[in-house]
Amino acid sequence: MKKFSQMAIPYIVWAMMMLVLPMALVALYSFTQPGNSIVSFSVTLDHYVRFFTDQDFLLILWRSLWIAVKTTVICLLIGYPAAYYISRCKERLQNGLVLCITIPMWINMLVRTYAWIGLLSEGGLIQRLLGILGLGNRELLYTEGAVLLGMVYNFLPFMILQIHTALCKMDYSLLEAAADLGANPAKTFQRVTLPLSLPGVINGITLVFLPAVSSFFIPKLLGGGKYFLIGNVIENQFITVGEWNFGSAISMIMAVVMMLLMMCVHKVEARNQGGREKEQAI
């Protein structure tokens, strides 16, 4: 045991340097105000007060949460049927379909998002196709719909893969048992398949919602500066404005929001796990 503890020391040091120390510095910046010299600063809550008393920042926060919710819901509505279909296929076809989903992820997300600019721009492929249907006069790029499309496209594989993994781990003898007891396919899905796949659904929701709420380059590229989210505000404070203290305060607020959401997700998962254990005990 002592040997394993010693082997873990490099990983603990790495985690402290790469994770804990940067977060501590961000927290320090968020509660301080720079002074006249490099080493002088004063402790203050003005950055947090400024954020929560400015209606524009609260509106951007609400917009970010709302588009993250819409992205997660759309990914779930598309991802669950896709994952269910893939899990019911033969193993060889299943591997091929999973490969088709993961291949786009081999390309950098920034490059994939840039590709949508060409597709959605005026005279692009999608607008030409819509023109054939008589809908070609609509503006596609630099809209909320373009931002939502970019987020769904980039984060959908995370939802599909998580649900697919949960469905593949399911004991299919339970489905046969439900059928033998007289349950129809709809009832079997409701009472057996869906509850057993909930861990994958919860993991998928987590992996989609968290990056969606803090995304900054997708709305920047596909929104064209017209659709500002909280990630863009943080980027703007650090890079353009140079107010690192206020940007750190916004980052800490988002970190707290994400931790609260993660706690809620874990509580739902624990409650679901406890319910399944009670059912098995009965």
At residue 41, φ and ψ (nearest 5 deg) are: -155, 160
84 CB-near residues (< 8 Å, 6+ apart): 163, 167, 193
Name which of 155, 154, 152, 141 is nearest 221 in CA terms: 141
Q: Summarize pLDDT for 175-199 with one digit per residue, the tens.
A: 878 877 888 888 888 888 888 898 8
Assigned domain for 7 exists: no
Assigned domain for 47 exists: no
Assigned domain for 46 exists: no
> Which of 51-60, 90-99, 107-116, 259-268 bottoms out in mean pLDDT, i.e. has the lowest?
259-268
Mean pLDDT of the chain: 85
Assigned domain for 24 exists: no
Does 279 score more than 60 pLDDT? no
Strands (E), the chain: 32-34, 41-43
Domain residues for the domain of 150 are 56-281
**Is 119 within 8 Å of 150 (Cβ atoms)?**
no
Residue type, 185: P
Assigned domain for 84 exists: yes
State the pLDDT at residue 130. Answer: 78
State the pLDDT at residue 40. Answer: 62
CATH of the domain at 226: 1.10.3720.10
Assigned domain for 9 exists: no
Q: Can you tell me the distance from the alpha carbon of 108 to that of 103, in angstroms, rounded to the nearest whole number?
A: 11
Please, what sign has the CA dihedral across residues 234, 64, 254, 12?
negative
Q: Can you tell me the distance from the alpha carbon of 106 to that of 109, in angstroms, rounded to the nearest whole number?
A: 9
Assigned domain for 17 exists: no
**Is 216 within 8 Å of 237 (Cβ atoms)?**
no
Q: Summarize pLDDT for 57-81 with one digit per residue, the tens.
A: 999 999 999 999 999 999 999 999 9
Give me the number of domains the chain comprises: 1
Q: Can you tell me the distance from the alpha carbon of 140 to that of 146, in angstroms, rounded to the nearest whole number?
A: 6
Q: CB-based burial of residue 130 (10 Å sphere; 0-12 exposed, 13-18 middle, 19+ buried)?
A: middle
Assigned domain for 39 exists: no
